[in-house]
Structure 1
């Protein structure tokens, strides 16, 4: 793969990830109440700065912790929000890290107390996750890392081989079967 130390582009992380929302105020309030995210900034224009076209918007920014920003656009003059009907709802999602499995379970309890359906925890071998939907229909995941340094190193080692095999067969490579075994053992399945 690429040697990032000699690459001409030096990334410093994700500045922000932007999604569309149905209602900016409702979205800001929901992310604050449900996930404790601080509302930090808003931009509103009648013309798109990059293209100059008339398309009024409200662009809101929320702090997801550790310098990570989640942003949303409300676009009142556009057609109603939809989603890619050719992609399953579980595929496109926003995933946030929590500090421990204990924090994950506490978050699940808090979110369910808000009247929100929560799926999980789901065991992925090296992390556990819960899943739910925001008021815009975006799937949200909270994940707690539970793997060891050795497990993460092994996953990085086999990643190129897995990608090559997938590219040739379009079937799940078996290079990390041990990962699935970890999840099965926790659920008492051998």
Structure 2
């Protein structure tokens, strides 16, 4: 049970992400894929013929999967809507779902598992403070599995330079050089593949 908090003004006090929702082509196929590929537990579903928030007629199935650590991933199947597509003005690598695994060994084991199911996997890719693999679900959503490998000092330095980086980006729209040190190892490892 979540402890009740009183808001005394200002922004709300968030308690985390309740769920993140995406569209799917087929709810049952999506549930089965996430169970088989990532071991997510199918938790529950809501299904209505009318949208509760707007009252409009638009039958849907809304499924919820346990992504671990009190995080929930949800999908909507919308059979009366046009076929789902993607934002063609945004590269496929930008919009993605990223999940944490606890070690590089788990990351490599996950890659082997997903590939054994016939899914093409990219990586591992070294990002300086984490390593990732990438693949697509049956709906075309890019999925990332990542494991943190950075040191406390690296994370502290990234936090320290976060605002100067954002300010420089806002002015120039070019990659700030504040964290070049971070990418040196990643560049050399990724180039060796």
TM interval, shorter chain, is over 0.9
**Match of residue 178 from structure 1:** 181
The structural deviation recorded for 1:41 is: 0.6
TM-score, normalised to structure 1, is 0.94
Equivalent residue in structure 1 for 2:122, among 119, 123, 143 = 119
Where does the alignment leave 5 or more consecutive residues of structure 2 unmatched?
1-8
The structural deviation recorded for 1:186 is: 3.4
Equivalent residue in structure 1 for 2:172, among 169, 174, 177 = 169
Q: CA deviation digits over 1:78-101, x for unaligned, max 9?
A: 000000000000000000000001
Equivalent residue in structure 2 for 1:101, among 101, 104, 125 = 104
Q: Which range moved further: 7-16 or 32-41?
A: 7-16
The structural deviation recorded for 1:182 is: 2.0
The structural deviation recorded for 1:8 is: 3.2
Does residue 56 of structure 1 match 2:59? yes
Cα distance change of structure 1 residues 188 and 93 upon mapping to structure 2, 3 Å threshold: closer
The structural deviation recorded for 1:7 is: 4.5
Q: Distance in 1 between matches of 2:11 and 2:158?
A: 27
The structural deviation recorded for 1:136 is: 0.1
Equivalent residue in structure 1 for 2:140, among 134, 137, 140 = 137
TM-score, normalised to structure 2, is 0.93
Where does the alignment leave 5 or more consecutive residues of structure 1 unmatched?
1-5
Cα distance change of structure 1 residues 50 and 175 upon mapping to structure 2, 3 Å threshold: same
Does residue 156 of structure 1 match 2:159? yes
The structural deviation recorded for 1:187 is: 4.9
**Match of residue 45 from structure 1:** 48
Q: Distance in 2 between matches of 1:97 and 1:141?
A: 8
Which 4+ runs in 1 deviate beyond 6 A?
none
Q: Distance in 2 between matches of 1:49 and 1:96?
A: 30
The structural deviation recorded for 1:24 is: 0.1
Confirm or deny: 8 A CA contact 2:125 2:190 kept in the other structure.
no
